[in-house]
A and B are shown apart, each in its own frame.
Chain A
Amino acid sequence: NAGVTQTPKFRVLKTGQSMTLLCAQDMNHEYMYWYRQDPGMGLRLIHYSVGEGTTAKGEVPDGYNVSRLKKQNFLLGLESAAPSQTSVYFCASSSGWIRETQYFGPGTRLLVL
């Protein structure tokens, strides 16, 4: 099992460009999450999904959109990238909500110029 995979690993964007980050998991997990990690701020939840076809906002959703068309995939979109979105993005998945472990992908490093 690959666990949680993310593509791309690294990307450079110019301000105003758009892109989509892809997260895939092969553990048949219902729950998936997108976080961003910035120095000194820990991991902040952007959006999450509690099942195929559902999405919900996390702590910092502005400027991002998500879709969960298939259970195994969770896409994070930036419609018009801004320098403030320079960050490391982690996807995670879990089998449940309350007590289950979250399994993280390797991360995507995004630089917006």
Chain B
Amino acid sequence: GQQVMQIPQYQHVQEGEDFTTYCNSSTTLSNIQWYKQRPGGHPVFLIQLVKSGEVKKQKRLTFQFGEAKKNSSLHITATQTTDVGTYFCAGRGGATNKLIFGTGTLLAVQP
């Protein structure tokens, strides 16, 4: 079945450093969503990408959807302590078009 993998599983950065998480799907996706989950909290929607090669920005966050629509990335410029949490990608694809969540990347930011 469809699988969505994320790397790295965990990243620890100093405040002000950049951070990137990568998402890879075993099948072509119709769209991809990104969610953020603060420690002890629930996933909260960040953004959705639909088009091949699409790039979207939200302040210090840059999201990309690959040309083949099988991978995506989230880049955070100059991390802040408020960026701490787990970032999940979630892709739709396959015969049922169900939303499959990636394994998540836990970001720790040291002040």
Contacts and interface: CB of A to CB of B under 8 A. Distances in A.
B104 interface: yes
Given A98-B92, A102-B45, A107-B42, A58 B98 contact: yes
B33 interface: yes
Interface centre among B41, B97, B101 (most CB of A within 10 A): B101
Interface residues of A, number: 22
Contacts of A42: 4, 6, 88, 101-104
Interface residues of B, number: 25
B14 interface: no
Interface of A: 35, 40-45, 48, 58-59, 90, 92, 97-99, 101-107
B31 interface: yes
A97 B30 CA distance: 12
A50 B98 CA distance: 12
Contacts of A59: 1, 100
